[in-house]
């Protein structure tokens, strides 16, 4: 393999694909940019910057998910904003009153917004809850904001709750899967547009590894592991 080919591969690999949901936004921005350049060049440059950012926001990189049984990986890119033990899962998850651990990951507008499955399994419950659009970093966003909830049951029977929460800027949650879908760990589950949060609700027999303040990568960062003997 020659140096020229290596350089070409390096340049090509630097470009991250855009998720199809973003095509209409990028195309609309590009058309608006061209029109503005004809009549108001200054606004055209501003629109061009906004269009480039839109393409950046909808990026959809490939991820390599650990394949060891019992692992719970992050569903979202962003900062682990909270690790709270002994909480009751929200009613929309229909997980009863069993004490669980909630791990919250906050996504800024600069993070990848594709949400991925934390574990492999089957979606046994999903529901959409309309709501407000307060700052997703606030604890009360779990109960007040618009959200899409899923419950994934693993082969061992463990049930993991995943809640995609809209934020202050986010105005749309786009689920890719629904009831009955079988998922692999790290598989794409949905998209939240322009800033948001994802909460995971884990059963009590999980050894939580996540620390508040750490940076998580969807589909790759291990947040918890099942205790020995569970998978």
Q: Please report, in tens digits, the pLDDT of each residue of the chain (231 residues total).
A: 455 556 555 444 556 677 777 778 788 888 998 998 888 888 889 989 988 887 877 888 899 999 888 999 999 999 999 999 999 999 999 998 999 999 999 998 888 889 999 999 999 999 998 866 655 566 666 666 788 999 999 998 999 999 998 866 555 788 899 899 999 999 999 988 766 889 999 998 899 999 999 999 999 999 999 865 444
Tokens standing for residue 58? 């909808």
**Residue 175 and residue 158: Cα distance in Å, rounded?**
22
Domain residue extents for the chain: 3-57, 71-226
| pLDDT at residue 227 in the model | 67
Tokens standing for residue 91? 């009613």
What is this structure's pTM?
0.82
Q: Report the DSSP pairing between strands 99-107 and 182-183.
A: unpaired
| pLDDT at residue 20 in the model | 78
Tokens standing for residue 157? 């029977």
For residue 181, the cross-strand partners are none
Residues annotated as catalytic are: 196
Backbone angles phi, psi at 25, to 5 degrees: -70, -45
| pLDDT at residue 12 in the model | 47
Q: Strand, helix or coil at 78?
A: strand
| pLDDT at residue 53 in the model | 80
Residue 137: other Cβ atoms inside 10 A: 16
Torsion of CA 154, 101, 170, 25, to 10 degrees: -30
71-226 CATH choice from 3.40.47.10, 2.70.70.10, 3.40.1350.10, 2.30.30.40: 2.70.70.10
């Amino acid at each position: 393999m020659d140096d020229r080919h290596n350089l070409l591969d390096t340049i090509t690999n630097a470009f991250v694909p855009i998720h199809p949901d973003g095509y209409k936004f990028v195309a609309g921005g590009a058309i608006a940019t061209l029109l503005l350049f004809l009549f108001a060049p200054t606004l055209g440059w501003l629109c061009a910057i906004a269009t480039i950012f839109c393409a950046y926001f909808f990026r959809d990189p490939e991820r390599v998910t650990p394949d060891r049984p019992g692992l719970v990986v992050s569903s979202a890119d962003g900062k682990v904003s909270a690790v709270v033990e002994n909480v009751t899962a929200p009613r929309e998850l229909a997980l009863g009153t069993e004490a669980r651990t909630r791990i919250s990951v906050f996504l800024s507008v600069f993070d990848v917004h594709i949400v991925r499955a934390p574990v492999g399994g089957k979606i046994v419950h999903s529901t959409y809850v309309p709501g407000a659009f307060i700052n997703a970093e606030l604890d009360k966003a779990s109960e007040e904001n618009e959200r899409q909830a899923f419950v994934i049951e693993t082969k061992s029977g463990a049930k993991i709750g995943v809640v995609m929460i809209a934020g202050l800027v986010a105005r749309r949650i786009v689920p890719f899967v629904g009831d009955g879908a079988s998922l692999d760990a790290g598989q794409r589950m949905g998209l939240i547009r322009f800033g948001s949060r994802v909460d995971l609700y884990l059963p009590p027999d999980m050894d939580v590894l996540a620390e508040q303040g750490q940076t998580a990568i969807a589909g790759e960062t291990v947040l918890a592991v099942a205790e020995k003997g569970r998978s």
